[in-house]
Every structure is written in structure tokens, then in C-alpha cells.
């Protein structure tokens, strides 16, 4: 079997917040088997699309089943590497795994070690709520739908005023306290700081949150600020999670060696599936669990569920639920033939060959590229 064609699809999506684009890769073969993958490309979509097309010259005519070999060639041949190339490689590799699963007529998780569970537990994000009361209401509504874990974001302002120091700490303690009072302790609660506050304030906030037993505090410092994360972790008992900005096993190794985290959050559209499997193996030796980062489409989520199914140290899977402020439905559902279904906070591990999801190409050319930039 040989690779005969590689296509990219940019799909603009239009939620009320967090605008951007999906970037898909479709690889075809001379045996009629094709596979789909997704690159992490929210902010630099066209840049990463060009990187994917640069890889096409190497891939055409190659055996798609030699996945490890192709990853090493794509990674080691260039003199310089980086996250843009890694995102391109990850989308390509995801598509190759989809082909391999269809060729061997088995789900991808069977090619990565075999299934360790039949269901994947998920948590939902609620971002962008203007007040504590609205954030708590939205999170509580998801609990009523059956979710047993929820995550909110750090509050950096109150009304028109930015929060600093003790006021910032107090506001976010009040947020988690109010959430606990509404959902109790049978539901897991997490908060995402996204590296947006100072290390001193992060330590103060984490210590104040200890009595509310959060599932984790995400990125009290940026994932690549490893020494700062380690300092924060050493000064609190709350579980610390990080990793969505790290794309290589080396980066995760440093995070683990410094004992900076209790949970790692690789994004498979940056790391690739095979590297993520290796990263999970490293984490297992440090008694660290894995909660994959998933801000993208059902293609990336499908790959994440395949990964979740086969690792022993899986913790929980992030999802963007229907009705979330970050959910660009109906676009997310429309661009795949059969979306993964979350029922009462759980995804049943699929049994279809490959990734278990197919791209709707007609819909994928319907929504045009939408340029945007993050503004601080």
C-alpha cells in the first residue's frame, strides 16, 4: 500500500468567543483506504497548513503503515523543529493511524496496546461567564445533565475592574466555594488559571482552595514555566495539571522530572498519538495521570478517546459540550459524518476500525477561513 494523495481542509468556525479555524488532513492510498487527522492550528492555521503541504513531498509514494519511521523522518530530517512543524506532523500521523486501523480492521487503540476501559469519563468547560452566579448556574446545569466533573476559568476582573492580589484570590475562592455549595462533593471541580496570574498569587490561591478539594488547578503557571510550576506544586496540596502548551516528549520529561505536576494534559493534535503514548508511559513511572487537552473538533476528540482507551493512567477527558460558549455547533457536528456522543458525562469507546470518525468533505469546504489574532 502506498500514499497517493494528501489534502488539507480549513474550516472556519464562529462561536461567540474563542474564534478560529479547524485544520484537517486527509491522506489517501492506492488501496482505496483513506485517513483523517487534525492539526492544532487555532491561531496559525495557514502557517501550519503550509507545513503540512511541505511534508507531502516526503509522504507521497511511502507505505502509510510505517508510522514510527515516518514520524522520525519528519522530525529528525529538518535542521530546525518547533511547535508549528509538530502540529503539522501530528495531523499527518493521526491520519496514518486512521489508515492503519482500517487496513487491519480494528480500532486504533488495539494498535497502541489494547483497550483498558470501555467508557471514557469526561469533564466540561464553562468559560466567559460575566459573574460568579452565571458561571455557577451554567456549571450546575451541566451537572444536571449527568456530568460528574466540571471546570471553570480563573476570574481576572469583576465588572469593569481588574482584580489584583488579595482581591483576585478572594474572588476565585468565592467562585469555587459557591460552586461546591451548589454541586456538593460528589462532583469533581477544577479551575483553569492559564498562567494568567503571578506565582505568588497562584500559591496563595491554591492554598486557599485546598479545603474545597479541587480535581486539579490547571496551569497556575504556563506549562513551559517548569521551575515556577514546581515551586507552586511544592507549596500546596491541590493537584496541579499542565502540558497543553508542550509538544515534545522532552518537554514532558522535564515537567515530570521536576515533579511539577500531578496530571499532564497533552494535546494529541500537537504531540501526535505515538508520542503521546510514550509520554503517558513516562508519566506512569512518576505516578502521574493523563487528562488530554481537547479544544478542537470531533476528529481530535475521536483520536483522544482512542488514546484514553489504551493507557492505564488515564484520568479524565476534556470535552466542549453542546451549548458551551466555546461550542461552534452546528459546525462541529456537521463536519463529521457521525459525531461522538457524550451521554451523562461519558463517551462509550467506539469499536469501528481506525479512529471511528469520518470527515464530511462537503461541509468541510462550506465554512471559510476566518483570520483572527489573540489580543491580550
Q: Are residues 204 and 58 in the same domain?
A: no
Domain termination site, one of 48, 80, 106: 106
Domain termination site, one of 106, 129, 147: 106
Q: Are residues 71 and 153 in the same domain?
A: no
> Which positions ≥6 away from 264 have C-beta within 8 Å?
241, 242, 243, 252, 255, 256, 279, 283, 288, 289, 290, 291
Per-residue pLDDT of the chain (376 residues; tens, 9 = 90+): 999 999 999 998 766 556 679 999 999 999 999 999 999 987 789 999 999 999 999 999 999 999 999 999 999 888 788 999 999 999 999 999 999 999 999 999 999 999 999 999 999 998 888 999 999 999 999 999 999 999 999 999 998 899 999 999 999 999 999 999 999 999 999 999 999 999 999 999 999 999 999 999 999 999 999 999 999 999 999 999 999 999 999 999 999 999 999 999 999 999 999 999 999 999 999 999 999 999 889 999 999 999 999 999 999 999 987 766 666 667 888 999 998 999 999 999 999 999 999 999 999 999 888 887 765 5
CATH code where residue 205 lies: 3.20.20.120
* Residue 198, CB-side half-sphere exposure with 13 Å CA sphere: 9
Q: Are residues 200 and 279 in the same domain?
A: yes
The number of distinct structural domains making up the chain is: 2
Q: Are residues 185 and 266 in the same domain?
A: yes
Supply the pLDDT for residue 80. 80
* Helix-strand-coil split of the chain, %, nearest 5: 40, 20, 40
Q: Are residues 216 and 348 in the same domain?
A: yes
Under 8 Å between Cβ of 172 and 164: no
Q: Are residues 14 and 127 in the same domain?
A: no
Supply the pLDDT for residue 323. 67
- Using alpha carbons, list the distances in angstroms from residue 376 to 196, 210, 373: 11, 30, 10
Q: Are residues 114 and 92 in the same domain?
A: no
Q: Are residues 144 and 219 in the same domain?
A: yes
Q: CA-to-CA distance for 342 and 23, rounded, in angstroms?
A: 23
H/E run at residue 189: strand 188-192
- Residue 333 CB coordination number (10 Å): 16
Supply the pLDDT for residue 78. 83
- Using alpha carbons, list the distances in angstroms from residue 353 to 98, 109, 300: 8, 10, 16
- Residue 124 CB coordination number (10 Å): 25
Q: What is the dihedral of CA 144, 262, 314, 222, to 10 degrees?
A: 80
Residue 256 falls inside a structural domain: yes
Digit-coded pLDDT (tens) for 234-287:
999 999 999 999 999 999 999 999 999 999 999 999 999 999 999 999 999 999
> How many residues are given for the chain?
376
> How many helices and strands in the chain, by DSSP H and E?
14, 15
Q: CA-to-CA distance for 41 and 305, rounded, in angstroms?
A: 20
Q: Are residues 293 and 226 in the same domain?
A: yes
Task: Give Cα 140 to chain centroid, integer Å.
Answer: 23
Residue 163 falls inside a structural domain: yes
Domain termination site, one of 106, 127, 161: 106
Q: CA-to-CA distance for 43 and 22, rounded, in angstroms?
A: 10
Q: Which of 369, 370, 364 is nearest to 26 (CA)?
A: 364
Digit-coded pLDDT (tens) for 129-174:
899 999 999 999 999 999 999 999 999 999 889 999 999 999 999 9
Write the burial class of residue 178 (CB in 10 Å: 0-12 exposed, 13-18 middle, 19+ buried).
middle
Supply the pLDDT for residue 326. 64
Residue 371 falls inside a structural domain: no
Q: Are residues 123 and 266 in the same domain?
A: yes
Write the burial class of residue 65 (CB in 10 Å: 0-12 exposed, 13-18 middle, 19+ buried).
middle
- Residue 170 CB coordination number (10 Å): 15
Q: Which of 292, 279, 248, 304 is nearest to 89 (CA)?
A: 248
Q: Which of 295, 308, 307 is nearest to 121 (CA)?
A: 308
Only one residue has cell 480494528, namely: 106
At residue 312, the 3 state secondary structure works out as: coil
CATH code where residue 40 lies: 3.30.390.10
Q: Are residues 331 and 285 in the same domain?
A: yes
Residue 370 falls inside a structural domain: no
**Mode of pairing for the β-strands spanning 119-126 and 149-153:** parallel
Residue 368 falls inside a structural domain: no
Q: Which domain holds residue 20?
A: 3-106
Under 8 Å between Cβ of 271 and 248: yes
Amino acid at each position: 500500500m502506498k500514499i497517493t494523495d494528501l489534502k488539507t481542509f480549513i474550516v472556519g468556525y464562529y462561536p461567540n468567543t474563542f474564534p478560529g479555524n479547524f485544520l484537517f488532513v486527509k491522506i489517501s492510498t492506492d488501496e482505496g483506504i483513506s485517513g483523517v487527522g487534525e492539526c492544532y492550528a487555532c491561531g496559525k492555521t495557514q502557517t501550519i497548513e503550509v507545513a503540512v503541504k511541505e511534508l507531502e513531498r516526503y509522504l507521497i509514494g511511502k507505505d502509510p503503515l510505517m508510522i514510527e519511521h515516518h514520524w522520525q523522518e519528519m522530525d529528525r530530517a529538518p535542521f530546525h523543529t518547533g511547535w508549528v512543524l509538530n502540529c503539522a506532523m501530528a495531523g499527518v500521523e493521526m491520519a496514518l493511524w486512521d489508515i492503519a486501523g482500517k487496513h487491519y480492521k480494528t480500532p486504533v487503540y488495539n494498535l497502541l496496546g489494547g483497550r483498558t476501559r470501555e467508557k471514557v469519563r469526561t469533564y466540561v468547560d464553562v468559560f466567559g461567564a460575566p459573574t460568579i452566579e452565571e458561571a455557577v448556574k451554567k456549571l450546575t446545569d451541566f451537572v444536571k445533565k449527568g456530568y460528574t466533573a466540571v471546570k471553570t476559568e480563573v476570574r481576572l476582573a469583576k465588572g469593569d475592574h481588574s482584580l489584583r492580589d488579595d482581591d483576585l484570590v478572594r474572588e476565585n475562592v468565592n467562585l469555587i466555594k459557591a460552586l461546591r455549595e451548589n454541586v456538593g462533593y460528589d462532583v469533581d471541580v477544577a479551575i483553569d488559571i492559564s498562567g494568567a496570574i503571578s506565582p505568588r498569587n497562584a500559591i496563595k490561591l491554591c492554598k486557599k482552595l485546598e479545603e474545597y478539594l479541587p480535581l486539579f488547578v490547571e496551569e497556575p503557571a504556563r506549562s513551559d514555566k517548569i521551575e515556577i510550576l514546581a515551586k507552586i506544586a511544592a507549596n500546596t496540596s491541590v493537584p496541579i495539571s499542565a502540558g497543553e502548551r508542550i509538544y515534545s516528549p522532552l518537554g514532558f520529561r522535564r515537567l515530570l522530572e521536576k515533579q511539577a505536576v500531578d496530571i499532564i494534559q497533552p494535546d494529541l493534535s500537537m504531540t501526535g498519538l505515538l508520542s503521546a503514548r510514550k509520554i503517558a508511559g513516562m508519566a506512569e513511572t512518576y505516578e502521574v495521570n493523563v487528562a488530554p487537552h481537547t479544544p478542537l473538533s470531533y476528529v481530535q476528540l475521536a483520536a483522544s478517546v482512542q488514546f484514553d482507551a489504551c493507557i492505564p493512567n488515564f484520568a479524565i477527558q476534556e470535552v466542549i459540550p453542546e451549548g458551551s460558549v466555546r461550542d461552534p455547533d452546528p459546525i462541529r457536528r456537521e463536519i463529521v459524518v457521525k459525531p461522538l456522543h457524550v451521554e451523562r458525562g461519558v463517551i462509550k469507546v467506539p469499536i469501528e476500525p481506525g479512529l471511528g470518525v469520518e470527515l464530511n468533505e462537503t461541509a468541510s469546504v462550506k465554512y471559510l477561513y476566518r483570520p483572527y489574532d489573540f489580543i491580550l
